[in-house]
Amino acid sequence: MASLLQPDRVVYLVRGEKRIRAPLSQLYFCRYCSELRSLECVSHEVDSHYCPSCLENMPSAEAKLKKNRCANCFDCPCCMHTLSTRATNIPAPLPDDPTKTAMKKAYYLACGFCRWTSRDVGMADKSVASGGWQEPENPSTQRINKLIEYYQQLAHREKQDRDRKKLARRRQCMPLAFSEKYGLGTRLQRQRSGAPISSLSGLSLKEGEDQKEITIEPAQALDEVEPLPEDCYTRPISLPEVTTLRQRLLQPDFQPAGASQLHPRHKHLLMKRSLRCRKCEHNLSKPEFNPTSIKFKIQLVAVSYIPEVRIMSIPNLRNMKESQVLLTLTNPVENITHVTLAPCEDEDPDDINSTAKVMVPSKELVLAGKDAAAEYDELAEPQDFQDDPDVVAFRKSNKIGFFIRVIPQKDEDADVTVSFKIRHDFRNLAAPVRPSEEGADTAAVAAEAIWLTHHVELRLGPLAP
């Protein structure tokens, strides 16, 4: 029965640039536009970088310098788990007296999952617990850096040319009489003599610095390739020595073929992102800066604004026979919500997946507000809603269970899917309250209610055999 609570059983339709169907728990609600938003109709921005194992925060500039890798933590090259530092006691000769030996601590890296140790690749034990481990140098680093510098300069120069051409065109359009009239022309005329215009003055300084041209030698193609070893075909392969493709490609600099050359690499940083609605540019989700905190500064998720439909129990569904399905509706806000359900029209463009006809209750359902203190308040009288027992099965604080009637139309192996529209009132507490004409206190003015309609699809499961 827990499979009925799976999130992908009930999906809501998001009308953005793309029509996306997603469960309510994965959607956001922009309360300024009063619309549902999914991850694909918001813009993602990077907030901060942090290391997943030592939880160290890093500003973006520093992260870029370190190539988005943590300085302290390492990844196992064999299974990509985090490496831990272990210590052993080894007898080492004292520096003062070579004949006596004392126990010194030596540190090595070890993986708890696949039991890889740094001694497997021949890395010597270090005498400091952290900071002693170095990644191997890439032999082509210098050439790559030089190429990057050259291309950066080239791109910079092209950008300057483009800007100059744009302004040159604009200058030709302006008539000379116009420029003299307003006196601005004299300044422009002065600057027309060949020096760059003030708007590009920032760039001109840089050009002065980069006067030295960076030249690169073109890459040389070699005719001869290193020949394969002679016993390439006859030598038996020892599988533990060969690296897997995944292990190899995680180190694109070296791509070692042998397991004895797999060196550990620094751990990748993860990032915290904030989401922004594309239409109104308001933030939908903004996490806290601290990597150890899971809370949000701004959290406009759909489950805290939109009533959620869940499937509670399904009887045996038979083709062309009417059955009653029990659904629940939960009210996430603190005031009373009125919900009306409506079946989809015949030619509804959103209704592409349903394989059954559905009859929803026509009366308006009233949901009580979510009251956090209700369970502790013994004296509170239960609110009396006149519930039709044919429609409402039970009522419990801010949740009701109601029946819908389903007639499966297709006799296929696929799941029976139904869809309907749900219309509820939403009080937007974020929008500025219009001052009432009497100029009375604004606290008494309730926010206006607007009606929102959502398209909901439910996947009820296969037909009974």
Partner 1 sequence: MSDAKQIMAQKSAKIAAGAVVCVESEIRGDVTIGARTVVHPKARIIAEAGPIIIGEGNLIEEQALIINSYPENIMPDTEGMEPKTMTIGTNNVFEVGCVSQALKIGDNNVIESKSDLGRNVILTSGCIIGACCQVNTCEVVPENTVVYGSNCIRRVQSEKPQSQTLQLDFLMKILPNYHHLKKTVKGNNTPVRN
Helix (H/G/I), strand (E/B), else coil: 42: strand
Rg from Cα positions in the chain: 34
Other beta carbons within 10 Å of 29: 21
Output the smallest distance, CB 7 to partner 1, in A: 24
Closest to partner 1 by CB, 114 vs 257, is 114
Closest to partner 1 by CB, 244 vs 436, is 244
Closest CA to 400 of 296, 327, 324: 327
Structural contact between residues 393 and 326, judged by C-beta atoms closer than 8 angstroms = yes
C-alpha count within 13 angstroms, C-beta hemisphere, residue 227? 3
Closest to partner 1 by CB, 240 vs 349, is 240
Closest CA to 199 of 166, 242, 152, 235: 166
Q: What angle do CA 167, 173, 178 make, to 5 degrees?
A: 110
Output the smallest distance, CB 83 to partner 1, in A: 14
Output the smallest distance, CB 403 to partner 1, in A: 43
DSSP strand pairing (19-22 vs 83-93): unpaired
Closest to partner 1 by CB, 240 vs 465, is 240
Q: What angle do CA 285, 286, 287 make, to 5 degrees?
A: 120
Output the smallest distance, CB 120 to partner 1, in A: 5
Output the smallest distance, CB 244 to partner 1, in A: 8
Closest to partner 1 by CB, 123 vs 391, is 123
Q: What are the residues whose beta carbons fall under 8 Å from the beta carbon of 198, sequence distance 6 or more?
A: 191
Output the smallest distance, CB 70 to partner 1, in A: 24
Closest to partner 1 by CB, 114 vs 445, is 114
Task: Report CA dihedral (406, 410, 414, 420) to the nearest 10 degrees.
Answer: -40
Structural contact between residues 242 and 257, judged by C-beta atoms closer than 8 angstroms = yes
Structural contact between residues 305 and 284, judged by C-beta atoms closer than 8 angstroms = no
Output the smallest distance, CB 322 to partner 1, in A: 45
- Cα 191 from chain centroid (whole Å): 49
Binding site for partner 1 (CB under 8 A): 78-79, 113-117, 119-120, 240, 259
Q: What angle do CA 236, 239, 245 make, to 5 degrees?
A: 125
CA–CA separation, 314 and 306 (whole Å) = 24
Closest to partner 1 by CB, 115 vs 297, is 115
Structural contact between residues 28 and 300, judged by C-beta atoms closer than 8 angstroms = yes
Closest to partner 1 by CB, 72 vs 117, is 117
Output the smallest distance, CB 238 to partner 1, in A: 9
Output the smallest distance, CB 80 to partner 1, in A: 11
Closest CA to 37 of 338, 241, 272, 280: 280
Output the smallest distance, CB 107 to partner 1, in A: 15
Q: Phi then psi for 239, rounded to 5 degrees?
A: -60, -35
Closest to partner 1 by CB, 259 vs 306, is 259
Closest to partner 1 by CB, 103 vs 298, is 103
| Angle (deg, nearest 10), helices 201-209 and 141-173 | 140
Output the smallest distance, CB 252 to partner 1, in A: 22
Closest to partner 1 by CB, 113 vs 151, is 113
Q: What angle do CA 48, 49, 54 make, to 5 degrees?
A: 130
Structural contact between residues 354 and 419, judged by C-beta atoms closer than 8 angstroms = yes
Terminal alpha carbon distance of the chain: 18
Greatest Cα-to-Cα distance within the chain, rounded to the nearest angstrom? 98
Closest to partner 1 by CB, 79 vs 359, is 79
Output the smallest distance, CB 78 to partner 1, in A: 6
Q: What is the DSSP letter of 356?
A: E
